[in-house]
A and B are shown apart, each in its own frame.
Chain A
Amino acid sequence: MAKIISIHSFRGGTGKSNTTANLAAYLASKGQRVGVIDTDIQSPGLHVLFALDPSEVGKALNDFLWGRCPIEEAAYDVTDRLGGPVDGRVFLIPSSIRAGEITRVLRDGYDVSLLHDGLQALVRELELDTLLVDTHPGLNEETLLSIAVSNALVVILRPDQQDYQGTGVTVEVARSLDVPEIMLVVNKTPSTFDLEDVRSRVAQIYGCDVAAVIPHSDELMTLASAGIFIMRYPKLPLSRIYRELGEVVRNV
């Protein structure tokens, strides 16, 4: 049974796209067929990480959902662009859905289960093991929708006050949607913090598992923006943390 996993953060700039790309590469390295949907229209980054030029993108997620094209036309096989060989495959489904388009339709009486059906069709047609949904920051309706249909929600936060508050809201909302698994990833943790201490404190505050605590390093951020980190620098400690996170997600 394929799993839908939403990756979310309250604000932008938490390293959500980077984490999603590394997760996709990890799962593919374990032989999985992985789909990645980019719904973060305001700050799209996934196609950069997968080295997919916008000019190469024709049909997108919304075209498929509205029945304008078959799934193959909206999915782009980026397996060869990961930065190294993997046993599985990675398909990127870029989104051109304009903000509010889906929600307006839904509000107008559109059956919300259509998106779920669409996602299921995607899973079926591409024979996916995992579908990663890179959600839009904040809690707009399409984000709520992908959270609602997910098997697991990964909430990424930075250790600062604004994220603490927003994450609290996200976790509470996800709970009332009965998402089976909610896990937190603390990213860009300043080096002065003790990682294990951060992990236990955050887990205690939100009452859910902390899947990873990733330390911040300007040097690493520079390296990370140039591609998929675990493929390019598999021996650095950060890759070990991503792999551990990947294992948690794989076992959802």
Chain B
Amino acid sequence: MTTVPVESVWRLRQAIGDLRRAAERARAEAVAADLRKVQAAADALLTLLEQLPQRLAEARGVDGRRALRHDLRTPINQVVGFCELILEETEDTGDSRWAPALAGILVDARDLLAQVDRLGVKALVLAPERAEPAQASQSGGWMALSRTIEAADTRGTILVVDDNRSNRELLERRLRRDGFDVLTAEHGGRALDVIRSKSVDVVLLDIMMPVMDGYQTLEHLKADPDLRHLPVIMLTSLDEAQSVTRCIERGAEDHLPRPFDPVLLRARIGSSLERKRVRDRERRFLERIVAEKRRADDLLHGVIPIGVELSAERDLDRLLERLLHEARRFCGADGGALYLHQHDRLERVLLQCGSLKLRAGGAEEPEDRPSLQLGARAEALRPVAKAALDGVTVDLPDVHDTPGLDMREVQAFDRRHHYITRSLVALPLRAVDGQLVGVLELWNATRATDGEVVPFGKGMVEVLESLSRLAGVALASYHRETELRQRIAHLEIRIDEVNRRREVSQITETDYFRKLRDMAQKIRASTESGVDH
């Protein structure tokens, strides 16, 4: 077994300490603070190395050795990560004082990481492949390279899930530098809470964590239809090739080997975000197609047949009942009222409210959404009056936010019945010539899936407008037909046949008439033969 390079770790620890002190002397507080974290990571590594023989002896099986190796790599990765970050941040501010020393520490730390990996090959791990070369970030040139990747298209919220606080902080700072919003979670369970309560675009997920590890978290995410499409990038160690395979099989989008190459990190997050955007766009498109199809289906299979049936209904009460019932059914509206336009008044002829078990005709409970005078200024701002006067739909997604409208009748209704009206829509019913026939008022649309009260929504309002057009025509033709029937009843032409025949014969059965008829026949015969008298 190769000896563990404790000496090189000591050298590294001292170089870090020297640099920290220099930063403290120079009162470069931010650099000094970060270097203290780097130093803490180096100390942790030293402690681990001292315990290594004992830990190796205790390590059971491949998993045990893998865990040990993970523990060894973690502090070195932190040293590399923080140093790279300090290097970037100081270069951004034009402070090049620390760069040479940081570059030296970075070279040593990476060398150390390589040594641990080599050590691991023999002592710990069966056959790790170096999945990603970390060397891309070795020269100072990587920063120039990193800037060639555009940051503009990478905005999004990243959730970092790692049990190690330093790891989380390191990633968080790096990602924030790249312009992302960052949320963190210390284990899978917490991560799921965050994802369900906040908008997250990409998840960076550590594998080995207490409470809920990366695999379990991944399984939970992929099993949830709402979260299935959220891209997950696994944070892996170089020796976790098998784990990577396992994660990809379970639906992880990608993986990132530690220590993170900043370019690679950005590139993978960027491509995950792009894929998510494409998927989201597809999903929205699909949702729109589904909604359009539902609307077309509603029209074709719902509204049009109802319109036809309404036109055929000969009983006004049944016609009105049916109209209100169908309109409510379409949008799951808890309540609705129908008003008919008569002599500049809107007479409320019907009212229904499902949850209140209210079913009233026009005369009952007149104080419930009462009839109104259209010409009256005092009532012109009621939603129902506005729909009638303006001839357009009044759609109120939230009845508590309706500036300029008079909602007192709605509030009175709510108070009287201990009810809460949330969303409301009022639609004018008009004849083909545009003449106002009435108004349809619906309130509290409910979602089919859970009965939640929701706004009526654009698609639903369009379906209701189609139904209102058909209903307006049906009502207008009903009125016209009723009026006609009344007129026909008035115009009952009765002719007393017996009397008529008697009167006719009194005239026609006289010598005079016979003579007249003969003469007329003669005249017509001569006219027909072309002889002019």
Contacts and interface: CB of A to CB of B under 8 A. Distances in A.
Contacts of B523: 113, 116, 149
Interface stretch (B200-208, B310-318, B487-495): B487-495
Given A197-B491, A198-B491, A165 B499 contact: yes
A148 B517 contact: yes
Interface string B439-462: 000000000000000000000000
Interface string A45-85: 00000000000000000000000000000000000000000
Contacts of A202: 493
B516 A192 contact: no
Contacts of B532: 1, 120
A164 interface: yes
Given A168-B495, A178-B521, A116 B507 contact: no
A224 interface: no
Interface in A144-169: 144-145, 148-149, 159, 161, 164-165, 168-169
Residue in A1, A149, A165, A202 with the greatest tally of chain B CB atoms within 10 Å: A165
A149 B519 CA distance: 8
B520 A201 contact: no
B377 interface: no
Given A159-B491, A168-B500, A194-B483, A1 B527 contact: yes
Contacts of B512: 103, 106-107, 141, 144
B56 interface: no
Contact of A169 (B487, B488, B500): B500
B519 A176 contact: no
B488 A197 contact: yes
A125 interface: no
Nearest to B496: A165
A161 B500 CA distance: 13
Interface in A186-225: 192-194, 197-198, 201-202, 205
Nearest to A204: B493
Contacts of B519: 112-113, 116, 148-149
B517 A116 contact: no
Given A112-B516, A169-B503, A169-B504, A197 B487 contact: yes
A43 B531 CA distance: 37
B484 interface: yes
The interface residues of chain B, by DSSP majority, are classed as: helix
Contacts of A107: 512
Contacts of A120: 532-533
A176 B516 contact: no
A208 to B, nearest CB: 14
Contacts of A113: 519, 522-523
Given A144-B513, A149-B520, A177-B520, A139 B493 contact: no
Given A1-B527, A192-B487, A201-B488, A144 B516 contact: yes
A112 B517 CA distance: 10
A176 B504 CA distance: 10
Name the interface size band of chain B. 20 to 34
B40 to A, nearest CB: 98
A219 to B, nearest CB: 22
B508 interface: yes
A153 to B, nearest CB: 12
A165 B520 contact: no
A127 interface: no
A64 to B, nearest CB: 16
Contact of A148 (B500, B504, B516): B516
Contact of B504 (A112, A173, A192): A173
A117 interface: yes
Contacts of B493: 164, 201-202, 205
B524 interface: yes
A62 to B, nearest CB: 19
A87 interface: no
Contacts of B524: 178, 180
B515 interface: yes
A249 to B, nearest CB: 18
Nearest to B522: A113
B495 A205 contact: yes
Contact of A172 (B500, B520, B533): B500
Interface of A: 1, 103, 106-107, 112-113, 116-117, 120, 139, 141, 144-145, 148-149, 159, 161, 164-165, 168-169, 172-173, 176-178, 180, 192-194, 197-198, 201-202, 205
Given A148-B519, A149-B519, A193-B490, 13 more contacts: A106-B512, A113-B519, A120-B533, A144-B507, A164-B493, A173-B508, A176-B508, A178-B521, A192-B487, A193-B487, A201-B488, A205-B493, A205-B495
Interface of B: 483-484, 487-488, 490-491, 493-496, 499-500, 503-504, 507-508, 512-513, 515-517, 519-524, 527, 532-533
11 contacts: A103-B512, A106-B512, A116-B519, A117-B533, A148-B520, A173-B504, A173-B507, A176-B508, A177-B520, A192-B487, A194-B487
